[in-house]
Structure 1
Amino acid sequence: MNNIFGWTKEALAASLKEQGVPRFRAEQIVRWMYQRGAVSLHAMDNLPKGLRTQLAERFSIMRPQVISRLHSADGATIKLLHEFADGQTAETVLMRHSYGNSVCISTQAGCRMGCAFCASTLHGLQRNLTAGEIAAQVIGIADFLRMEGARVDTIVVMGSGEPLENYDNVVAALRLLHEDYTIGLSYRGITLSTSGIVPGIERLSEEGIPISLSISLHAPTDELRSQIMPVNRMYPLAALLRAACSYAERTKRRVTYEYILIRDLNDGVREAEQLAALLRGQLASVNLIPINPVAERQLFRPSKAAVRRFQHVLEERHITATLRREMGTDIQAACGQLRNRLMEAGL
């Protein structure tokens, strides 16, 4: 039996045509799945009963199950742990901002990138998520928000996994979420974060979807970046910055460089000066993020004074630098933390 959750209207229409079912039925079915929360064809009461029975013998609608849900004390953040059909898990976070609702989604179960500061990579990569599994994270939250009269305004592809190592499924999910029969999300409301997979950045720049690109930089030199981000050994800074500049030029979208500040490792004045020199002249900004400590990593947050000093050095050198508003620290909202807790409990 085929699980059709994650199919486009066109793919479903082509399959229905083989059974002699008219195309307009595909429109009805996808809107039931993606806008009305249907998990069974039998619930679709504007389809003839005989057709529902016929299709239910061939198609299923399977969505991931929420097996853990944590709410921040201030009510602004909700973290969900989704379990997929094979038992793999991944996290999704809803963040309520003054300017709208944002959803942070995962693209892989686990991660193989090996970044020193990240919880997602502690148990390695289990597998890529499918386009349907990626899209389901957003659509499930859209269903929840709809009951409040609200909607998903933006998404950030910044959860567990390296999205450009699951390129086809990620782009398929983003295209699906853009369709008016799902949630009609503007491409300009999407930000994708990568650790620096240069071929993927180059491919994305030619995709024709004007999403914002965010690059996890975290160090201003190849030596330091290779120490904390093994991906730099394959795609060093010079190649990464060339790809980023090309992306900005082609898409006319400003690139954001994420920079996690780690005490006594990359948070000094020297590193700030090196970072400013590295990014001079680019259509880019820097998002500073004091590390959300991961117990297994023994890496610690810098002082508030050190964070302010780092930001000041950048701004003095005309580099736009913002300090990320932290949300959900009381519910382990950093990617991978809830999933790891579950795995280590042996559940």
Structure 2
Amino acid sequence: MTTAACKTDLKNLNLPALEHFLLGHGKERFRATQVFKWIYQQDARTFDEMTNISKELRRELTEKAFISNLEPEAVEEGSDGTRKYLFNLGDGNAVESVLIPIEGRNTLCISSQAGCAMGCEFCLTGTFKLTRNLTTAEIVNQIMAVRRDIARNPPTPQSADDIWGDDEDGDRSQSQAEIRNIVLMGMGEPLHNLDNVIPAIQIMIDGNGLQFSNRRVTVSTCGLVPQMARLGREIPNVNLAVSLNATTDELRNRIMPVNRSYPIKELLRACREFPLPGRRKVTFEYVLLGGLNDTLEDAKRLLRLISDIPNKVNLIPFNEHEGCDFKAPSQAAIDAFHKYLIDRHVTVITRDSRGGDISAACGQLKGRLGQGGEPLA
């Protein structure tokens, strides 16, 4: 008898890997597409639901494989409609995802690791050391769980700029019960878990899978230069967001330890070499820290650094949190920084602090459970 521990979670397999799995068990290649569609387009949880494949194949799959699932342990909704989902991974670890509704164009921010090893000084997640990487299944299951939730209970649209995704297709027709953009910007550093993140993205953008356009998927990084090159080779058409946050190596070394290995010059070279098609741009995320990196001199240096890279800038006023000495910038500093870039024809958005009242804003995710497995406030 096959034990559960020996079974293969099919959500860990992209379509080519699923084909290989079934071929290895003597099945036809086209069966993989059938199973894949049932999992991702019909949200099948068991093989018995797959009515267009034989009972014999369903029986064999039940013996050799399973379809994992995640349901949120808790869901909080903020006053601005932002929803935060806490997922218990069943081994004492938990992660959070955040749904941001913007005029019916819902953006979902998902996690790639439990904790984070990067140690960025301004990020709450970074204070919880890396416990483990998420599996491919745990990454895509966040999307599927949120899809189910908003199908039952569509979020209330909020008026704001659509930060993520590429609007070349001009699509504004999606329902409030659909996810428009996926950003890998939750807990963890996605490029520190590429072995699982890459197949997860392949599932997201597969026409037989979750069916997201690659222009609707954004991968954020603190600046792991070799992994940026690998991402560009293996999935060249997704959007890239780079968490820059400083315009000198001296400051970036202090607030982002990754800079000691990959300083700004190397990071920007990797951005220039990243394969972005058409008119797409690298998004530079810049957390404004009061009195530290929010002056006009910083804005001038930022412009000089990125001027030869197709770019857009996402300014993120720091969200203060317990245990961190950094301060939020003044509104005057935010406005002056924004205006300097806008006046020089930079595409720049100053991000609203969405979800701050439920600790779902940028840098606030923690994914913590109590000793009994209950959510921690």
TM-score (norm: length of structure 2):
0.84
Write the deviation string for residues 82-130 of structure 1: whole angstroms up to 9, x where unpaired: 1224332211111111261211111111101110110111121111112
Correspondence 1:91-106 to 2 at 5 A: 91-98=96-103, 100-106=105-111
How far apart are 1:340 and its partner, in Å?
Answer: 5.0
Cα deviation for residue 26 of structure 1 reads 2.8
Residue pair 2:94, 2:369 contacting (<8 A) in 1 also: no
Structure 2: segments with no counterpart, 5+ residues = 1-6, 155-174
Query: In the alignment, what sits opposite 1:3?
Result: 9
Separation of aligned partners in 1, 2:229 and 2:236? 13
Q: Report the secondary structure of 2:353's partner residue.
A: coil
**Following superposition of structure 1 onto structure 2, how do residues 311-326 of structure 1 map, counting pairs within 5 Å?**
311-326=338-353
1:204 and 2:210 aligned: no
Q: Which of residues 65, 78, 85 is equivalent to 2:83?
A: 78
Partner of 2:211: 184
Deviation of 1:196 after TM superposition, in Å, equals 0.7
Cα distance in 1 between the residues matched to 2:70 and 2:340: 45
For structure 1, the residue ranges without an aligned partner over 5 or more in a row are none
* Equivalent pair of 1:248/1:283 in contact (CA under 8 Å): no
For 1:211 and 1:169, locate their aligned partners in 2 and report how far apart those are by CA, in whole Å.
16
Aligned residues: 346
Q: CA deviation at 1:290?
A: 0.5
Is 1:195–1:217's contact at 8 Å kept on the other side of the alignment?
Answer: yes
CA contact (8 A) 1:205 1:251 kept: no
**In 2, Cα distance between the equivalents of 1:121 and 1:214?**
18
Which string of whole-angstrom CA distances, capped at 9 and with x for unpartnered residues, describes residues 157-201 of structure 1? 111111111122211111111112222111111111110111122
* Alignment pair present for 1:296 and 2:319: no
**Residue 119 of structure 1 contacts residue 335 of structure 1 at CA under 8 Å; is this kept in 2?**
no
Q: Match for residue 42 of structure 1?
A: 48
Q: Tell me which residue corresponds to 1:111.
A: 116
Deviates more, 1:168-177 or 1:33-42: 33-42
Kept after mapping to 2: 8 A contact 1:106/1:159: yes
Corresponding residue for residue 124 of structure 1: 129
The match for 1:246 is: 273
- Paired with 1:130 and 1:265, the residues of 2 have a C-alpha distance of 37
TM-score of the superposition, structure 1-length normalised?
0.91
Q: How far off its partner does 1:315 sit?
A: 3.0
**Larger RCO: 1 or 2 (CA < 8 Å, sep 6+):** 2
Query: Does the 8 Å contact 2:271/2:282 carry over to 1?
Result: yes
Identity of aligned residues (%): 40
Cα distance in 2 for partners of 1:239, 1:252 equals: 23
- Mapped pair 1:159 → 2:186: yes
| Cα distance, 1:49–1:159 mapped onto 2, change above 3 Å | same
Give, in whole Å, the separation in 2 of the partners of 1:282 and 1:16: 44
In the alignment, the residues of structure 2 paired with residue 250 and residue 47 of structure 1 have an alpha-carbon distance, to the nearest angstrom, of: 39
Deviation at 1:238, TM superposition (A): 0.8
Partner of 2:297: 270
Distance 1:138 1:253, change over 3 A: same
Secondary structure, aligned partner of 2:201:
helix
- After superposition, the Cα gap between the structure-2 partners of 1:55 and 1:299, relative to the gap in structure 1 and judged at 3 Å, is same
- For residues 307 and 331 of structure 1, do their structure 2 counterparts lie closer, same or farther at Cα, with a shift above 3 Å needed? same
Quote the RMSD (CA, aligned, Å): 2.4
